[in-house]
Amino acid sequence: MIDVVLPENRFDFAHSLLEMHRDRKRVFVDQLCWGLPSRESWLEVDEFDNEYAVYLIARDSGRHEGSVRLLPSTRPHMLASVFPALCANDVPVADDCWEISRLVAPPGEIRGTALVRVHRLLALALVEFAMLNAIKSYSLVTEPHRVPALLSVGWNVRPLGLPTSCLGQEIQALQIVIDADTMSVMRRRLGIEGSVLRSAPMKLRAA
């Protein structure tokens, strides 16, 4: 199951959030060698982990198994602030458009089919969260070779621009469109029925 961590209830998930930030450091800095400000820390935290960030966290017996960060596009977010050149046209900004970033799982601890299941649960949680909060689309930046995996989930993925080389890495801006039948299509394809959210999200405050 997936927990929804909002600014208002972060204290209740303090331990899971610490594990999430630790795993982000182990993956993005230690393994992938991203040049992030937290290189000397044991946690990976950036300027977008702010009072507007929402986290979806997969947990098993309290242990962080995977997570993703959500940010309203009407506030500073990675695509608009760091990678706007990835978009062929304007960066999508609207009350019903949010950004996905920092998808992560504990390195080396969850593999194979277990990791695939965590990613599928998070994908369904993203759609469920979107439908509960009138979100019509997500934007994200990823590597082009991950696009087939995104498409395999069953949602509608659209490119916002062509793959571009940045700091020696190919990356691309994408948009995931959430429509009326997205959830039913994904549930059939992934074979997962029912809600995947452990705690229903509170009403999002205005961004």
| pLDDT tens sequence across 157-202 | 999 999 998 877 899 999 999 999 999 999 999 999 989 998 655 5
Helix, strand, coil percentages (3-state) for the chain, rounded to 5, are 35, 25, 40
Q: Can you tell me the distance from the alpha carbon of 20 to that of 3, in angstroms, rounded to the nearest whole number?
A: 13
Q: What is the mean pLDDT of residues 127-144?
A: 95
Tokens of 138: 């997500």
Model confidence at 89: pLDDT above 90: yes
- The pLDDT score that the predictor gives to residue 207 is 46
| Exposed / middle / buried, residue 47 (Cβ in 10 Å: 0-12, 13-18, 19+) | exposed
The CATH number that domain 2-190 falls under is 3.40.630.30
H or E element, residue 117:
helix 112-132
Q: Minimal CA–CA distance to 46: which of 24, 72, 16?
A: 24
Inform me whether the pLDDT recorded for 143 exceeds 50: yes
**CA–CA separation, 122 and 103 (whole Å):** 9
Express each pLDDT in 38-88 by its tens digit.
666 768 899 999 999 999 999 877 789 999 999 999 999 999 999 999 999
Q: How much is the pTM? A: 0.91
Query: How far is it, in rounded angstroms, from Cα 74 to Cα 197?
Result: 25
Strand 97-104 relative to strand 63-72: parallel, antiparallel, unpaired? antiparallel
Q: Which of 44, 49, 53, 64 is nearest to 2 (CA)?
A: 64
Residue that is written with structure tokens 């596009």 in the block: 73
Distance CA 45, CA 54 (A): 14
Residues ≥6 apart with Cβ < 8 Å to 33? none
